[in-house]
Amino acid sequence: MSENVVHLHKNKSTDPDQAPAAALTVVADAPAKPVPLWVRSGHAIRRIAADERTKTAGRLTVRHSMYVVNGGRIMGRRAWDGRTAARYERMLRAAEAAGNYEVAAEWEERGQAYRAARHKRRMDLLEAPVDMARSAVAGVGIGMGGLIGLGVVLAAANKDGSLILTPLMAVVEFLALLITIVQVVWGPLVTLSPLLGLLALWEVGRRAQAAPYWALPDNVRNGEGEPITPSIVIKALRDLGVAPLRNAIKDMGDAGAGMLGPIRIAGCGVEVDVTLPSGVSTDEVQRRRRKLAENLTRHEHEVFISIPPAARTVRLWVADSGALDEPIGPSPLVTDESFTFDYAKRKVPWGQDLRGDAAGLSLYQRHLLITGLSNQGKTAALRALALTAAFDRRVEFRIADLKGAGDWAMFDGLATVLIQGPTDDHVIEATEMVEGLVAEMERRLQAPPGTKFNPLVGIVDEEQVAFMCPIKDEDKRPYGGSKAVSRFFMAVRKINNQGRAVDVLMWQGTQDPTDQNLPKLVREGAHTRASLALGTESQSRMALGDKAVDGGASPHLLRPGLDKGTLVISSDGIEIPQGQSSITVRTHYISTEDATEIAERAKALRDGVTTLRVVERGERRDPLADIASVLGDAKRVLTQDVLNRLSRVSEDAYGGWTFADLTRVLDGTGAEPYKSHGRMVIDRERVSRALTNRGDDGSASVSE
């Protein structure tokens, strides 16, 4: 029978694809430990609380509730102000807190006048009920009399006596109607009035944005670029975290704006002077620049705090949001083909200050130091100065670029020395170049008084390479380092100390300063110190000096990468607003291509300069042998005479020698200078013994 049955469903057992599966044993997981309800609830609550929608709803609720609460507070205060002398008291305290005693006296007078007027009003009020009752009786009497009189006239005219009371009754009916209307409306009005009151308070609170900052709408909280108004400045100062300032502003209330001078447009931002209440020092505000900037909805670099001459006053400059990120225009060197320059009289059009005014730097008899982190525009800024000065054909340049990537290549044919490269050999050449400047400086210093010299500018870019150079010369004197025997260091110092008066100047460009790669004595020898973005405040102190940093200079707050070409400058060669210790300048960028073109124009002004690529080293000399030879037959010779005789032997090698050089060479030989009859001398016999003992191996030499 089963054969005759046709199954309408597939017979699983006969399906060839469905081969009997191997029997699988499913091992159940160990039953999970149940999570307690309180833990699950905690997770759920945390998840819900962290949800953006919950936060938005929370903010919304708090915001609108606080609008009502604070609206009530504002209305209450206004009512209190209107009915009492509180306003006058507040103004008086504000003027006192701001130290403005004249205005304080004025408010005190007004307060007294208000109190006297109020007293009079109150006294008048005591007599008012009797007067009112009297006037009411008189008014009702006169009114009724008038209406009855009118009725008599009506009755006489119509010859109908019933009309006498008609006007009076009409008025009574009208009053009855009014009472009915009030009765009808009163109920709902009583019910609705609290609601209307709350609505009014909410509106007052909303207008004043009177809710905690975090609960305010997004567009208010992220109000970047908001225009700077007195109330925003006052709020920002109040929330700065300086207790006496906050309390004084609280006491002043709306009158806090009295602390502010007018808000003036200043370049791509605004400027306002704030007279601080007594008990608040200017540096307390200056130290909180970031917080102030954030309170003003700006970035830190967009707010500058300086100290103007007026006492207890800070000057705030607040950039228009994002304005400092806009590039400034090209340099006049690029745009003006007929550009000319006078090193002594004119200023280099280097860039713009933050107010957008042209910033000019005088180079006249000033050593210069520019530092900054790598790749921030140091070479470009230094080169812009040199390119400008090149338009005065009197200026001679000797340049050592210890990077040697071609940034200074356009000075070939413009500079008399151009060393380009980062190796130890380049450092040796750079050192000899600076020593050449020292020799020239000393020559000039010995010239007759009043002799005029052309400016001679020695530029060392990437100077840190020289200071960090480990190699020593034949006399075992290191080229790098900052010891008294370090050649580069000593040469730079000599120029820093004495070069200015004879127009032999050092311009140094160095990177990422440390005490090792920019020794203190060298950095402090520069008259103009400028810095691009730096990493730390201690670097800013190295770059610009403590005085400038204490006065607010803060290149460490510039943004590496974003503020390329922006320099904080401390110099008497640039106009710095009174009371400030430094000025921030955004320099015009002159690209290498433009620089090459500008250099060609500058070359055209000159007769043709031959550029040396290495400093020529002359014949080698042996100082010990030379000293021995100049001592002659005398038993002892004064050190000063030895120096004079040596310089006659070779002006180039020994012309710049001092007593220290003599001591250095003789040190450890047994023939060191010593005192005889109160004067320093050198003993001939000892020197010749030292020469004999030395043999051939230790011969020191000096280049001529």
Ligand X SMILES: Nc1ncnc2c1ncn2[C@@H]1O[C@H](COP(=O)(O)OP(=O)(O)OP(=O)(O)O)[C@@H](O)[C@H]1O
Give the number of other Cβ atoms within 10 Å of residue 492's Cβ: 30
Instruction: Give the residue from 206, 234, 230, 233 showing the smallest Cα distance to 220.
Output: 206
Yes or no: say if 94 and 253 are a contact pair by the CB < 8 Å rule.
Answer: yes
**Shortest gap between Cβ of 402 and ligand X (angstroms)?**
10
Nearer to ligand X, 402 or 438 (CB): 402
Q: Which is nearer to ligand X, 271 or 462 (CB)?
A: 462
Instruction: Return the closest-CA partner of residue 396 out of 610, 618, 590, 616.
Output: 610
Q: How far is the CB of 50 from ligand X (least distance, A)?
A: 43
Q: Which of these segments, 258-266, 279-287, 376-384, 594-602, binds ligand X (CB under 6 A)?
A: 376-384
Among 352, 371, 376, 531, binds ligand X (CB under 6 A): 376
- Nearer of residues 245 and 400 to ligand X, judged by Cβ: 400
Binding of ligand X by 565 (CB under 6 A): yes
CB 562 within 8 A of CB 325: yes
Distance (Å, rounded) from C-alpha 449 to C-alpha 22?
A: 114
663 labelled binding-site residue:
no
DSSP 19-43: PPPPP-PPPPPPPPPPPPHHHHHHH
Shortest CB 538 distance to ligand X, Å? 20
Contact window for ligand X (CB under 6 A) among 62-70, 133-141, 377-385, 545-553 = 377-385
DSSP string, 299-353: -GGGEEEE--SSTTEEEEEEEPTTGGGSPP---HHHH-TT----TTT-EEEEEEE
Is 374 annotated as contributing to ligand binding? yes
* CB nearer ligand X, residue 377 or residue 499: 377
In this complex, which beta carbon is closest to ligand X, that of residue 367 or of residue 378?
Answer: 378
The only residue of 347, 378, 494, 556 in contact with ligand X, by rule CB under 6 A: 378
Which residue number, 370 or 628, has a Cβ lying nearer to ligand X?
370
The annotation status of 379 as a binding-site residue, yes or no, is yes
State the number of binding residues for ligand X (CB under 6 A): 13
What number of other Cβ atoms are within 10 A of residue 73's Cβ?
Answer: 16
Q: What tokens appear for 573 in the block?
A: 């060669």
545 assigned ligand-binding residue: no
Nearest CA among 515, 498, 405 for reference residue 464: 515
Measured distance between the N- and C-terminal CA atoms of the chain, rounded to whole angstroms: 130
Stretch touching ligand X by CB under 6 A, among 107-115, 239-247, 308-316, 368-376: 368-376
Q: Output the six-digit token pair for 287.
A: 């130290």
Distances (CA, A) of 31 to 25, 28, 41, 43, 253: 17, 8, 21, 21, 66
> In the numeric block, which tokens belong to residue 390?
């090149």
Please tell me the distance from the alpha carbon of residue 467 to that of residue 489, in angstroms, as a whole number.
7
Helices (H) and strands (E) in the chain, counts: 24, 19
Q: Does 375 bind ligand X (CB under 6 A)?
A: yes
Lookup: tokens for 52: 């953006």
Is 497 a binder of ligand X (CB under 6 A)? no
Does 372 bind ligand X (CB under 6 A)? Our answer is yes
Binder among 193, 374, 454, 516 for ligand X (CB under 6 A): 374
Residue 54 or 423 having the CB closest to ligand X: 423
User: Half-sphere exposure (CA, 13 Å, Cβ side) for 577?
Assistant: 24
- Between CA 503 and CA 367 the distance in angstroms is 10
Which is closer to ligand X, CB of 347 or CB of 378? 378
**What x/- string results for residues 405 through 444 when contact with ligand X is judged by CB under 6 A?**
----------------------------------------
380 binds ligand X per the rule CB under 6 A: yes
> Smallest distance, Å, CB 205 to ligand X?
47
Nearer to ligand X (CB atom), residue 388 or residue 587: 587
Q: Which is nearer to ligand X, 97 or 558 (CB)?
A: 558
Residue 289 CB, nearest distance to ligand X (Å)? 23
Residue 676 in contact with ligand X, rule: CB under 6 A: no
Question: Which range, of 206-214, 223-231, 378-386, 625-633, touches ligand X by CB under 6 A?
Answer: 378-386
The CA-atom distances, in angstroms, between 474 and each of 522, 659, 703 are: 25, 20, 10
DSSP letter, residue 415: B
Does 379 participate in binding ligand X (rule CB under 6 A)? yes
525 vs 565, which CB is nearer to ligand X?
565
531 near ligand X, judged by CB under 6 A:
no
Find the residue with minimal CB distance to ligand X. 565
Token pair in block for residue 90? 């507040």
Residues 545-564 that bind ligand X (CB under 6 A): 564
Q: How far is the CB of 544 from ligand X (least distance, A)?
A: 17
CB of 565 closer than 8 Å to CB of 393 = no
Binding to ligand X by CB under 6 A, coded x per residue (else -) over 578-597, reads ---------x-x--------
CB of 511 vs ligand X, minimal distance in Å: 5
| Nearer to ligand X among residue 374 and residue 640 (C-beta) | 374
- Judged on CB neighbours under 10 Å (0-12, 13-18, 19+), 116 is exposed
Among 72, 277, 349, 377, binds ligand X (CB under 6 A): 377
With b for 16 or more beta-carbon neighbours within 10 A and e for fewer, the 623-658 pattern comes to bbebbbebbeeeebbebeebbebbbeebeebbbbbe
Residue 646 beta carbon to ligand X: minimum distance, rounded to whole angstroms: 41
Answer yes or no: are the C-beta atoms of 198 and 44 closer than 8 Å: no
Our CB check for ligand X shows the closer of 404 and 455 to be 404
Question: Assign residue 30 a region: left if phi > 0, alpha if psi is -120 to 50, beta otherwise?
Answer: beta
Per CB under 6 A, the segment of 275-283, 374-382, 484-492, 646-654 that binds ligand X is 374-382
Q: Is 10 annotated as a binding residue?
A: no
- The tokens for 232 are 């925003």
Of positions 420, 464, 496, 511, contacts ligand X by CB under 6 A: 511
701 is in an annotated binding site: no
Q: Is 373 annotated as a binding residue?
A: yes
Residue window 39-68: x/- pattern of binding to ligand X, with contact defined by CB under 6 A:
------------------------------
Residue in this structure with the two tokens 């109330």, named with its chain if needed: 231
Helix, strand or coil for residue 668?
Answer: coil
Among 26-34, 117-125, 370-378, 480-488, which window interacts with ligand X (CB under 6 A)? 370-378
Closest CB to ligand X among residues 512, 672: 512
The region that residue 584 occupies, defined by phi over 0 for left and psi between -120 and 50 for alpha, beta otherwise, is: beta
Q: Report if residue 367 touches ligand X, rule: CB under 6 A.
A: no
Which CB, 376 or 431, lies closer to ligand X?
376
Q: How far is the CB of 388 from ligand X (least distance, A)?
A: 14
Query: Residue 371 interacts with ligand X (CB under 6 A)?
Result: no
CB of 342 to ligand X, least distance (A): 24
Block residue for tokens 């800024």: 381
478 DSSP β-pair partners: 472
Residue 402 annotated as part of some ligand binding site: no
| Footprint of ligand X on 7-26 (CB under 6 A) | none
Catalog residues that contact ligand X under the rule CB under 6 A: 372, 374-380, 511, 564-565, 587, 589
List residues forming the annotated binding site for ATP. 372-379
